[in-house]
Amino acid sequence: MYTEIVKIIEGGLVGDKEKVLNYANVLAVNLEKQGEIALTKKIRSVLTNKKGTLTSLDSFSTKPVDAESRMEIVEITMPQISNSQIVLSKYVEEEISGFIECYKRRDSLLKAGVELSNSLLLYGPPGCGKTTVAQYISTITELPLVTARLDGLVSSLLGSTAKNIRKIFDYAAKRECILFLDEFDVIAKLRDDKNELGELKRVVNSLIQNIDSLNNNSILIAATNHHELLDPAIWRRFSKVITLEKPQKDNIGKLLKIFFDSTDNSIIGNDKRMQQLEIAFESFSHSEIRTVISNTIRNSIIREKGTVTGCDVLREIYFHKNHSIEDEDELIRYLLQNNAPHKEINESLGIPLRRIQNISKNEAKKG
């Protein structure tokens, strides 16, 4: 059995899908002989569900490249994003679910003479989940995610950029997939921008033509942090446009529960602590919250601290906002203003209780 596991790992590391499938089948047979029926069923179920996906990825093996740099201009992935990893507002969730259902039922819609909705534009501040949403849609539809690489797509030879756009759309047309154009504003800028050269305007024209010719079996998702830069004609090419904003208070709480799921902490389950952190994280993006929590957990492990406290998180929030701690008293005042207990400040920062109490008293007098 151990031999099969090693062979599966070897096959996975070198991308030998056939080797992975063959040894996984052998492993399932051996486990069945040992009476591990539940695990055997699980392995065979995974093989059945994923075999078609592995085969479909083979058809994408030869990727298009930029003629000048010889860089590949797309990346192919099969993301695995669960519903629990997506934290969005109720209405955005409904819109995304509706978009997915439209794709799944496209045959019925076509029969009814209804226009399909297979192009989605996502915009909003950085770090608010645009890429994660694209990965989630790829997971649910089981379509490969073909992500355009802007470092290869945008050529120093301006005429080549339009050709690269065509190559990407032709490549995506070979099989059903999701074509994901991140940082979309780079190639979809206003054509009346006086600072842009005529060749760049032709790039936008090429983009529009390719979007119009997109077949109904694939999905186009574009994402941008700068929607105000997009050409008006580009907006009209998308059947669905969704804004992804920074999380509100209730969604911040959901994110904290996800990010602290496997970490010993005194926060989850403590309503008061949760409310304090929800307020402290106000105006943070999904990505920023993840970064702060990851740094907090990392520091806790390095310091061999058993339990993460609200004070530990607040310290990381303060550091994230200021990028340094030049005035320790200022940090203590911040922690006190966010209702961090004196004992937690003492244990988290190693600052004497008397000093914390004195600062607290001075703040109370000012108030």
DSSP codes of every residue in 247-297 = P-HHHHHHHHHHHTTTS-BSSTT-HHHHHHHHHHTTT--HHHHHHHHHHHH
At 55 the pLDDT is: 47
* Each residue's pLDDT tens digit, 13-57: 766 676 787 778 888 888 887 888 888 888 887 777 665 555 455
Of 42 and 270, the structure prediction assigns the larger pLDDT to 270
User: For the chain, what are the domain ranges?
Assistant: 2-56, 74-243, 249-366
* Torsion, Cα of 58, 60, 66, 71 (10° steps): -40
Task: Supply 155's token pair.
Answer: 């050529």
Q: Which helix (H) or strand (E) holds 90?
A: helix 90-104
Cβ partners under 8 Å of residue 30, min gap 6: 1, 4
Tokens of 182: 């991140």
Backbone angles phi, psi at 87, to 5 degrees: -120, 100
Span 152-167, average pLDDT: 78
Distance between CA atoms of residues 190 and 228, nearest Å: 9
- pLDDT 10s digits, 222-265: 999 999 888 888 999 999 999 999 999 989 999 999 999 889 99
**74-243 CATH pick, 3.80.10.10, 3.40.190.150, 3.40.50.300, 3.30.70.100:** 3.40.50.300
CA angle 90-95-101, nearest 5°? 125
Q: How far apart are the first and last CA of the chain?
A: 69
C-alpha distances (whole Å) from 288 to each of 246, 256, 275, 293 are: 10, 12, 18, 9
How far apart CA 118 and CA 141 sit, in angstroms, is 12
Q: What angle do CA 129, 89, 143 make, to 5 degrees?
A: 50
What does DSSP say about strands 74-77 and 145-148: parallel, antiparallel, or unpaired?
antiparallel
Rounded to whole angstroms, the Cα distance separating 342 from 107 reads: 63
* Phi (first) and psi of residue 65, to 5 degrees: -130, 155
Q: Check: CB of residue 73 under 8 Å from CB of residue 94.
A: no
**Pick the residue with more confidence: 244 or 206?**
244
